Homo-oligomer: A and B are copies of this chain.
Amino acid sequence: MGEMLGQLRRTHMAGHVNESLIGQEIIVTGWVSKRRNLGALIFCDVRDREGILQVVFREEAAKEAYEKADLLRTEYCILVRGVVERRESVNDSIPTGQVELIAKELKILSESETPPIYIKENLDASEHIRLKYRYLDLRRPDMQKIFKIRSKAYISIRNFMDQEGFLEVETPILNKSTPEGARDYLVPSRNYPGTFYALPQSPQIFKQLLMVSGFDKYFQIAKCFRDEDLRANRQPEFTQIDIEMSFVGVEDVIALNERLVQRVFKEVLDKEVVIPFERLTYKDAMERFGSDKPDLRFGMELKDLSDIVRDTEFVVFRNALDANGSVRAITLSGGASMGRKDIDRLGEFVKTYRAKGLAYIQLKEEGVKTALSKFLSEDEITSIIDRAEAKTGDLILIVADKDEVVFQSLGALRLDLAKKYGLLEGTEEFKFAWVTEFPLLERDEEAGRFVALHHPFTSPMEEDLHLLDTDPGKARAKAYDMVLNGEELGGGSIRIHDSKLQEKMFSLLGFTQEQAWARFGFLLEAFKYGPPPHGGLAFGMDRLVMFLAGTENIKDVIAFPKNQNAFDPMSEAPNVVDEVQLQELGIEISKISAQE
């Protein structure tokens, strides 16, 4: 049985002990991270949340403590009272490395079996074992660091929003399930058997209602839920920084969020983020980077060659142009020496994005080398080289297809090459940008109708309002995404606050009035009573913390995440429940699944 704490209390965090304490008697607590028995001396590293301190047990100085220290094993939880002394052999690799604690008294607060994972940085263990013993995984210093960053980010965000006059308001978790929406997590109701609550995919409607209520500026760090098949870096429950403001336009929301991000990076990482961020329209982003979340840390921009080859008879280019597509290129600096096999692999790569092939021009020392010379004139090839801003030693890569395919394939190829050829080395650490003027609608070819690119409450741009009647697919939205290093960090829009415009939008989306009211009736009803103009934004909190902590795994930034099957190996949730619980809820497990 572990010893009791009694009246003894920690006076200092082990990781904070330094030369200013030399000669003082202190008490530290923590876990045994290493122990070496050198005869009359026992050395023991004690680890707490703040770091590691070397403790020395001397047989002749404190016999009882020394004898107990001999029982210590890794991960025992202990308390040590002792005197801080200067260390003979300084350890520069830890902040407390100038000193050590000479123990007078030791309490073994609890013992530990041999842990199933090592409590150390950069652990190389299977995800399953890390999640099963998550409480030990979280004891590792690199994980502790991440959750300190996450906690700092929360308070930084909240103080900023508070100072800007935003009220934090909690919206409900037990919500209405909306027919035809993405897949909700459902919660059976006991009071009304046969009915269900749904966990929120976002507080979107509630935050708009809070604007109707005149709250003026709202934010919340909110839990959201999506019952989707989990791709990498998706979790069934995730956290969103949710913001909404009244009486604002696009510029107001953008300016506020730039200052928010600047503050968080300064306070959490002491990094200076320059504002305003670079801005690109959706159109520019696609044409220059082949992506609506462009990574601006490096160039290698897409170049449109369509006008140069507009009269070509080369069938690949001809077909693309005739189908209203385009011919575009990117240039890999120094890529001319790439071998045939490697270039073929790039061709395979773009095919996964539905491109039919990859043409290329090698600008070798000995001259231009390209299969295209069979089809294109020397002038045309020279013009392509000019347009592609290629110089000797470079490789020009060309895709011809529908715009959508050209953008996707060259956009992905650009990122892939940047990683493979180290184009990101030495670039800015954090490169923010806004992408604006998104299309309002996109065509769902399968369903043969439009769907909202963001959501059905997104306002069209005023100058495009007339297009809703004539060519709705061309209308742009007052929507904006914040992009960081090629990832979408947040997105939002100015909302429609006019019920007539909202009805028109629903009809463009193919909803009957009944369907619209079934889904969003209470919002439409609210819009009858003087809704203010409003707009907002939502950030992925988990993704933000991933950037702040420098990890690419979302499970690293969530204390108790689920695995890819939405299962928690530690608690073994979800699990089977008592039949009586289901009876109370008026539900049964279907026979088919019961047999499984």
Chain A residues within CB distance 8 Å of chain B: 1-2, 4-5, 9-10, 29-32, 47-49, 75-77, 79, 109-113, 115, 134-136, 138-139, 144, 147-148, 150-151, 154-155, 158-159, 162, 166-177, 179, 183-199, 205-206, 209-210, 212-216, 223, 225, 227, 236-237, 239, 246-249, 252, 462, 497-498, 500-501, 522, 526-533, 558-560, 562, 565-568, 570-578, 581, 583-590, 592-594, 596
Contact = CB atoms under 8 A, between A and B. Distances in A.
Contact of A191 (B115, B526, B567, B585): B567
B574 A48 contact: no
18 contacts: A4-B462, A48-B214, A49-B214, A49-B215, A75-B529, A135-B209, A136-B529, A154-B168, A155-B168, A172-B568, A174-B566, A176-B575, A186-B577, A193-B589, A193-B593, A194-B576, A586-B593, A588-B588
A213 B155 contact: no
A191 B169 CA distance: 33
Q: 3 tightest CB-CB pairs across the interface, nearest first?
A: A586-B593, A193-B593, A176-B573
B210 A559 contact: yes
Contacts of A584: 183
A325 B158 CA distance: 55
A526 B132 CA distance: 10
A136 B525 CA distance: 11
A10 B168 contact: no
A192 B56 CA distance: 52
B531 A581 contact: no
A586 B586 contact: no
A79 B247 contact: yes
A75 B176 contact: no
Contacts of A148: 167
A246 B360 CA distance: 63
A504 B170 CA distance: 41
A571 B174 CA distance: 11
A172 B560 contact: yes
B530 A195 contact: no
A565 B191 CA distance: 6
B188 A186 contact: yes
Nearest to A246: B29
Nearest to A239: B170
A138 B176 contact: no
A194 B593 contact: yes
A155 B151 contact: no
A528 B147 contact: no
A177 B575 contact: yes
A574 B189 contact: yes
B497 A110 contact: yes
A174 B562 contact: yes
Contact of A76 (B48, B150, B530, B578): B530
Most buried by B among A1, A112, A236, A573: A573
Given A193-B590, A559-B169, A31 B530 contact: yes
Contacts of A135: 209-210, 212-213, 526, 529
Interface centre among A227, A462, A575, A589 (most CB of B within 10 A): A575
A237 B173 CA distance: 8
Contact of A113 (B168, B198, B246, B528): B528
Give the one of A148, A227, A529, A594 with max B CB within 10 A: A529
A167 B151 contact: yes
B5 A193 contact: no
A577 to B, nearest CB: 5
A32 B214 CA distance: 12
A114 to B, nearest CB: 9
B497 A581 contact: no
A532 B110 contact: yes
Contacts of A151: 162, 166-169
B48 A216 contact: yes
Nearest to A252: B9
Nearest to A595: B194
A172 to B, nearest CB: 5
Contacts of A194: 576, 589, 593-594, 596
A49 to B, nearest CB: 4
A189 B225 CA distance: 13
A571 B172 CA distance: 11
Given A148-B167, A190-B227, A213-B139, A581 B529 contact: no
Given A76-B530, A213-B136, A239-B170, A576 B195 contact: yes
B522 A577 contact: no
A1 B154 contact: no
Contacts of A501: 1
Contacts of A209: 134-135, 560
A532 B29 contact: yes
